[in-house]
Structure 1
């Protein structure tokens, strides 16, 4: 099955799926359980939801937590999950604030939440000044990345 993941969405699957998304300053976290061969991916735009309007997967602190919980509900074990991070670029010069631009704030949220959950990051392609297209295979955890 092929799926396109829009910003503010996430996808988990116990069936093989190729999930494609395009990232700039946004971040995608790919999680995979190698024993069950179950995976999931999110695509978020902003680091923190601070309350107010309904929580949304557009925010990293919501999207990462929901991704983890959804995989656990499919029988995955947190200690077996491995993560890969992508995105977090600074694609517009006017938004650059040193190394602490929006993209790296998005990356920082993912790193912190994964560390707190005890999930190791085994690969990443983050930062820089270019966008990325990626395809995540939910059944084997392989990610294909192309710089844009």
Structure 2
């Protein structure tokens, strides 16, 4: 009798800014953040999750309703999870990013991005269970959608080799 249960091997996916990803199979989603924000959602019952990555807090123009904007990206990820069979009470969110380096930009867009993510999640009734946000450093995020294990690596500078496909001096 075989006592080992076979777990599916997670696929790898790099999430670019302005995208939302809700995989059908267990996946390790990675992304790189500066002032942008990533929200991961995990369904405790279904043992599945997804992630959004947005650059700007909100769009004031209805014709620009893309996942580049937090008000669209976060609400759409919640809707996708619910349409996929999740119950709102089983969802938990984690928020990452929102860095601000005054040497690179005058406006603290990271703070505005974080405020938008928190407001949308609160309005949608999704509990935030963890946050790694703010500061002046960029982040590399790795999220296992089957186990909800997340690794956050903070970096002083984001190199071209930090972006998928990984090459060079990483």
Task: Report if TM-score (shorter chain) is over 0.5.
Answer: yes
Q: Which runs of 5+ in 1 are unaligned?
A: none
Alignment of 1:1-148 (within 5 A): 1-96=11-106, 101-148=108-155
2: CA distance, partners of 1:92 / 1:7 = 21
Q: How many pairs were matched up?
A: 145
Q: CA RMSD, aligned part only?
A: 1.2
Measure how far apart 1:20 and its partner are.
Answer: 0.4
1: CA distance, partners of 2:101 / 2:82 = 34
2: CA distance, partners of 1:94 / 1:28 = 20
Deviations 1:44-63 (A, max 9, x none): 00000112433110000000
What secondary structure sits across from 1:50 in the alignment? coil
Contact 1:10 1:57 in 2 (8 A): yes
User: Looking at CA atoms only, which structure, 1 or 2, has the larger radius of gyration?
Assistant: 2
TM-score, with normalisation over the residues of structure 2? 0.82
2: CA distance, partners of 1:9 / 1:79 = 25
Deviations 1:53-110 (A, max 9, x none): 331100000000110011111101111100000000013425345xxx1001000001
Higher relative contact order (CA 8 A, sep 6+): 1
4+ residue segments displaced more than 3 Å: none
Contact 1:39 1:139 in 2 (8 A): yes
Range moving further from structure 2, 46-55 or 135-144: 46-55
